[in-house]
Amino acid sequence: MASHNEYGNFGEETATDYLRAKGYTILDRHWRTGRKEVDIVAEKEGTLVFVEVKTRRLAWQCQPMDVLTPAKIRNIVMAADAYVRYKRLDMPVRYDLITVSGSTQNPHICHYEEAFYSPVWYR
C-alpha cells in the first residue's frame, strides 16, 4: 500500500478513536453507494452524524474551505441520503469534518461540527 494511503488510514483510525472517546457510537465506516462514500457514520444523543475525514501531513493543508468543495459536499449528502433510506432511519442528521494532520506519533485533530448543511440542489 502506498504511504499516502497508509497515512490516510491512520487519519481515519485516529478520527474513529477520537469520536469514541467523545461518546459517539460508530455505526459504519467507509459506507459506499456506487462511487460515493461516507468515511464514518456515527450516532450521538439521537443525531446521526456523517463524518468526512481529511488527513494531511501539514496542518495548513487541512483548512475546511479547501477540502470541502461543492462537489464533495454533494457526494457526501447523496451518500448520506442513501444510507438513511437503506437503513430506514428517521432521526436528525448532521455533517461533520475531522482533519488530522502532523506526525503519526503526535497528530493534531480538528473537529468541525456542522461543517456544512445539506444543499437543496444536491440531486
* pLDDT tens-digit readout, 44-81: 999 999 999 998 766 555 555 667 888 899 999 999 99
Please report whether residue 123 resides in a domain. no
Please report whether residue 12 resides in a domain. yes
Rounded percentage of the chain residues whose pLDDT exceeds 90: 62
Please report whether residue 68 resides in a domain. yes
The number of folded domains in the chain is 1
Domain carrying residue 58: 3-116
Residue 99 burial (C-beta neighbours within 10 Å; 0-12, 13-18, 19+): buried
pTM to 2 decimal places: 0.87
Please report whether residue 43 resides in a domain. yes
Give whole-number Cα distances, 42 to 20, 83, 90, 105, in Å.
9, 12, 14, 25
For the record, the C-alpha cell of 22 comes out as 467523545
Please report whether residue 91 resides in a domain. yes
Res 41: pLDDT: 98
Residue 100 per-residue DSSP state: E
Please report whether residue 121 resides in a domain. no
Tell me, letter by letter, the H, E, C secondary structure of 21-77. Answer: HCCCEEEEEEEEECCEEEEEEEEECCEEEEEEEEEECCHHHHCHHHHCCHHHHHHHH
Please report whether residue 13 resides in a domain. yes
Question: Which CATH number covers residue 52?
Answer: 3.40.1350.10
